[in-house]
């Protein structure tokens, strides 16, 4: 049983560019959340998707957007990249909407130059 898978694992972009990160949830999970983890800090909640809709959003600008597909996989898009967007982006899935028992992927490490 595959856990949460994310791609790509590492990527380098320059300021102003756009990036798309992808996530496949654990089998049987229909809820996907995205977190940003800056170096040396705890993860910060970006948003959560359920039934192909954004259900909750953290304190992130509109440059951060997402999508959930009918097969429950998800994408995180970041436009107009800033140096401060450099971080580990973690995807987490759960079997229902109202739980903090999350299963995390290993993350996508984004470096913005």
Residue ranges in contact with other proteins by CB under 8 A: 4, 31, 33, 35, 40-45, 48, 55-56, 58, 90, 92, 94, 97-107
In the bound state with other proteins, the residue whose beta carbon lies nearer, of 17 and 28, is: 28
Tell me whether residue 68 or residue 94 sits nearer to other proteins (CB atom).
94
Nearest of 30, 69, 65 to residue 50 by alpha carbon: 30
Nearer to other proteins, 35 or 72 (CB): 35
Rounded Cα gap, residues 109 and 71, in angstroms:
24
65: tokens are 């957007």
């Amino acid at each position: 049983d595959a856990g949460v898978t994310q791609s790509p694992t590492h990527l380098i972009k320059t300021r102003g560019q756009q990036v798309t990160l992808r996530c496949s949830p654990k089998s049987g999970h229909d809820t996907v959340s995205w977190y940003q983890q800056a170096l040396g800090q705890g993860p910060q909640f970006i948003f959560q998707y359920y039934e192909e809709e954004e259900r909750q959003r953290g304190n992130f600008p509109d440059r951060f957007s997402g999508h959930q597909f009918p097969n429950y996989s998800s994408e995180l898009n970041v436009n107009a990249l800033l140096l401060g967007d450099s971080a580990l982006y973690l995807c987490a899935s759960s079997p229902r909407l109202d739980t903090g028992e999350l299963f995390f992927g290993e993350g996508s490490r984004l470096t913005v130059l």
